[in-house]
């Protein structure tokens, strides 16, 4: 069945790949980007099946306009892909407040703005899929990515609440959390800065590791796009889906440590309740 897709951040990277795959499968797409001319070749190839919209997801008015453009062109919105976003790898101390806020406005509030704009449409339709494109960075954290993690952890919690709210009227909301993909993300995420020496053991190591992995990431964005086409036909999905072997193993390892830490600190945690008597239990030897 052909659907109407609305994909943000579709000018390049994963958004562009999703747009191409959706069109090639016979769907109609409203593709939003800051630079619509990046999609001229797709317009020439697919004609009336695609509409491009110049769009900044940090503007609530432009998000409403993007949804309205989809309604005017195709009469409905079946699938929203909140893909617009970017990274910023550097120490938090060396990240200007304006840059931190700008990233969160794009990666978190852009998702909020688009979801707010599309949800009434899908509620009236009694159907729809909302895919929040996040990453394993919404589950785990690495030094040098404070602003990105602040946004993506926020996306995960926001989207899980929306999934519960929207399920009764037929809307499926899922956060997609891939590991590294070959989308060129890393070239824009890294900053050419003079790292303060105290951050060399932490952020410096992460930057070096990322520098070696860029262009060699295991994740195939074309496969991710094809998977979304299949997921968009499902009537029920989990609120989070982790993708990629590296991503899955990373999340498993981190969540295993968290579970062990939780259990080790349970007696201390239980102690703060009114109905628990006695002295504060000894803290675990491992100060996690």
Residue-wise pLDDT for 258-267, tens only, equals 999 999 999 9
Q: Pinpoint the residues of the chain covered by CATH 3.40.50.720.
A: 4-243
CATH of region 4-243, choose from 3.30.450.70, 3.40.50.720, 3.40.50.2000, 3.20.20.540: 3.40.50.720
How is 145-161 classified by DSSP, letter by letter?
Answer: -HHHHHHHHHHHHHHHH
Question: Higher model confidence: residue 48 or residue 186?
Answer: 48
* Per-residue model confidence (pLDDT) at position 40: 96
pLDDT average, residue stretch 95-114: 97
- In the predicted model, is pLDDT for residue 211 greater than 60? yes
Enumerate the β-bridge partners of residue 173.
130
> Shortest CA distance to 14 belongs to which of 73, 75, 71, 84?
84
**Whether 6 contacts 69, CB under 8 Å:** no
Average pLDDT of 277-287? Answer: 87
Q: How far apart are CA 267 and CA 250, in angstroms?
A: 28
Count of beta carbons in the 10 Å neighbourhood of residue 147: 22
Q: Above 90 in pLDDT, residue 180?
A: no
User: Across residues 174-191, what is the average pLDDT?
Assistant: 75
CB-count burial class (<10 Å; 0-12, 13-18, 19+) for 96: exposed
pLDDT at 215: 65
The per-residue pLDDT for 181 is 72
Q: Which positions are annotated as active-site residues?
A: 134, 148, 152
- pLDDT category, 186, cuts 50, 70, 90? low
Is the pLDDT confidence value at 31 over 60? yes
Mean of all residue pLDDT scores within the chain: 93
* pLDDT of amino acid 182: 66
pLDDT of residue 158: 97
CA distance 28 to 70: 9
Task: Beginning with the edge strand found earlier in the chain, give each strand of the sheet holding 4-7 in spatial order.
Answer: 50-54, 28-33, 4-7, 79-82, 128-133, 171-178, 240-243
Instruction: Report the pLDDT value the prediction gives residue 210, as an integer from 0 to 100.
Output: 77
Better-scored residue on pLDDT, 184 or 244 = 244
Has residue 288 got a pLDDT over 60?
Answer: no
DSSP per-residue string spanning 10-37: TTSHHHHHHHHHHHHTT-EEEEEES-GG
Average pLDDT over residues 3-10: 97
pLDDT tens for each residue of 129-158: 999 999 999 999 999 999 999 999 999 999
Helices marked H in 34-107:
40-46, 60-74, 97-104
Q: Give the integer Cα–Cα distance in Å for 171 and 193.
A: 44
Work out the average pLDDT over 197-222.
83
């Amino acid at each position: 069945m052909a659907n109407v897709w609305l994909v943000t951040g579709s000018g390049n990277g994963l958004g562009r790949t999703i747009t191409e795959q959706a069109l090639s499968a016979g769907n109609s797409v409203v593709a939003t980007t800051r630079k619509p001319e990046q999609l001229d070749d797709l317009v020439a190839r697919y004609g009336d099946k695609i509409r491009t919209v110049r769009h900044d997801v940090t503007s609530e008015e432009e998000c409403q306009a993007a949804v309205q453009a989809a309604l005017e062109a195709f009469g409905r919105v079946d699938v929203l892909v909140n893909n617009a976003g970017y990274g910023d790898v550097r120490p938090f101390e060396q990240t200007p407040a304006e840059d931190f806020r700008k990233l969160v406005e794009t990666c978190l509030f852009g998702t909020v703005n688009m979801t707010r704009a599309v949800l009434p449409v899908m509620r009236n339709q009694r159907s729809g899929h909302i895919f929040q494109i996040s990453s394993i960075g919404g589950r785990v954290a690495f030094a040098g990515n404070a602003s990105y993690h602040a946004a993506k952890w926020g996306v995960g919690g926001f989207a899980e609440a929306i999934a519960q709210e929207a399920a009764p009227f037929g809307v499926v909301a899922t956060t997609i959390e891939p590991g590294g993909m070959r989308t060129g993300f890393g070239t824009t995420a890294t900053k050419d800065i003079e790292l303060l020496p105290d951050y060399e053991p932490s952020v410096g190591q992460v930057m070096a590791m990322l520098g070696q992995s860029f262009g060699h990431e295991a994740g195939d964005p074309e496969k991710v796009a094809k998977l979304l086409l299949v997921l968009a036909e499902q009537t029920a999905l989990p609120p989070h889906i982790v993708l990629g072997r590296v991503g899955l193993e990373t999340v498993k390892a981190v969540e295993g440590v968290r579970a062990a830490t939780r259990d080790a600190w349970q007696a201390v945690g239980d102690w703060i309740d009114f109905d628990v008597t006695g002295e504060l239990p000894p803290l675990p030897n491992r100060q996690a």
